[in-house]
Amino acid sequence: VTATGPGDRSGSVRSRWQNAQLALLLEVTGTPKPGNVDRHRDHDDLLFEQFVAGAVGAAPALARAPAPSVGTCFERAVAGMSAQRGGNTQFGALLAVVPLLYAAHRGERGRLDPGAARAVVDATTVADAVAFYRAFEHVDVAVDDPPEGMEDLDVRRGGDAVPAVHERGLTFAGLMEQSAPADGVAAELVSGCPRTFRTADRIVEGLGSVTDCAARAYLEALAAEVDTFVRTKHDRETAEEVRRRAAAAAEGAEDPGTLAAEFVERGINPGTTADIVAGGLFVALERGLEV
């Protein structure tokens, strides 16, 4: 049975957690998104359908928000997300979205703002940081070496780092402060998510389908600032090249589809920018964006 007319939408509005899940799904659907998996581009070892399964797997944890704590929600969402064969599909996207989901729960529907996002992060505890470390046990995540003197807090140690977290009294907010210089999502979380809210505005203002708007917002965000994941996985020069060429594509001077093919071939995937777009989609949906 297939469409013959628009739905009446009677009696049914998506809840906050559904908007969070939908944001994950719409993010990976948008195309072209040079370097990342999208609905037109599988990577060899990471398929579009695995991102779909990741978003389905994360749902029960998202649905329990705002209980338990934001850190535990994140850890459980990552555990659920990892129940597919692709590995890490949405660790960063969940890190971008889950605090915003908690922020949305603090206020009336449709009123999500940077202050609420900041307040959620500021209120985090050592237990939230511990949960964040445990999330690394569910899936391999590419991160940089920790700064000197912080080896005991290397996130890749997972649960083994927990005694050090307790000893130092490190909160999730404190951890994000430490990570902000190296990780664009952490930088967002400690500053009220300015790029995320800007991306949401761009998506809401855009013309065409939601996922076309999201893909354009991705390109603009990639053109505006270097992707920290590319910088971590490759180097500063590559990240700057990616930013410059995204700017060219956003201005029409380079074809985004060709750029996508080249980035995939060179193993360049600007995941942090995609994570921020996932956050932006959640904000846009919470503010009433229709799909």
Interface positions, 82-111, toward a copy of itself (CB under 8 A): 82-89, 91-92, 95
The residue range among 6-14, 65-73, 121-129, 244-252 that interacts with a copy of itself, by the rule CB under 8 A, is: 6-14
- Output 78 or 120, the one with its CB closest to a copy of itself: 78
Of residues 199 through 218, those in contact with a copy of itself by CB under 8 A are: 209-211
Dist CA 121 CA 179 (whole Å):
14
- Output 52 or 261, the one with its CB closest to a copy of itself: 52
Q: Could you say whether residue 259 binds a copy of itself (CB under 8 A)?
A: no
Q: How far is the CB of 39 from a copy of itself (least distance, A)?
A: 4
| Interface mask toward a copy of itself for 155-184; x: CB under 8 A | ----------------------------x-
Q: Which two tokens stand for residue 180?
A: 């902000």
Q: Could you say whether residue 229 binds a copy of itself (CB under 8 A)?
A: yes
- Output 11 or 149, the one with its CB closest to a copy of itself: 11
- Output 41 or 243, the one with its CB closest to a copy of itself: 41
Residue choice 71, 99, 192, 271 for contact with a copy of itself (CB under 8 A): 271
Helix orientation angle between 91-106 and 114-122, rounded to the nearest 10 degrees:
100
Residue choice 40, 111, 244, 266 for contact with a copy of itself (CB under 8 A): 40
Q: Cα angle at 228 between 77 and 99, to 5 degrees?
A: 30
Instruction: Report which DSSP code applies to 228.
Output: H
Q: How far is the CB of 245 from a copy of itself (least distance, A)?
A: 19
Residue choice 72, 124, 179, 272 for contact with a copy of itself (CB under 8 A): 272
Q: How far is the CB of 49 from a copy of itself (least distance, A)?
A: 5
What sign for the dihedral angle of Cα 102, 108, 113, 114?
Answer: negative
Residues 6+ apart with CB under 8 A from 75: 131, 132, 134, 135, 138
Dist CA 255 CA 131 (whole Å):
42
The residue range among 43-51, 66-74, 165-173, 244-252 that interacts with a copy of itself, by the rule CB under 8 A, is: 43-51
Dist CA 118 CA 289 (whole Å):
23
241-242-243-244 Cα dihedral, nearest 10 degrees = 50
Dist CA 181 CA 260 (whole Å):
27
Q: Could you say whether residue 237 binds a copy of itself (CB under 8 A)?
A: no
Q: How far is the CB of 253 from a copy of itself (least distance, A)?
A: 26
Beta bridge partners of 41: 38
Q: Could you say whether residue 8 binds a copy of itself (CB under 8 A)?
A: yes
Do residues 118 and 94 lie in contact, with contact meaning Cβ atoms separated by under 8 Å?
no
271-274-275-278 Cα dihedral, nearest 10 degrees = -160
Residue choice 45, 108, 148, 265 for contact with a copy of itself (CB under 8 A): 45
Dist CA 235 CA 87 (whole Å):
23
Closest CA to 21 of 65, 47, 58, 50: 58
Q: How many residues make contact with a copy of itself (CB under 8 A)?
A: 72
Q: How far is the CB of 97 from a copy of itself (least distance, A)?
A: 13
Dihedral pair phi/psi, residue 43, rounded to 5°: -90, 170
Of residues 136 through 155, those in contact with a copy of itself by CB under 8 A are: 137-143
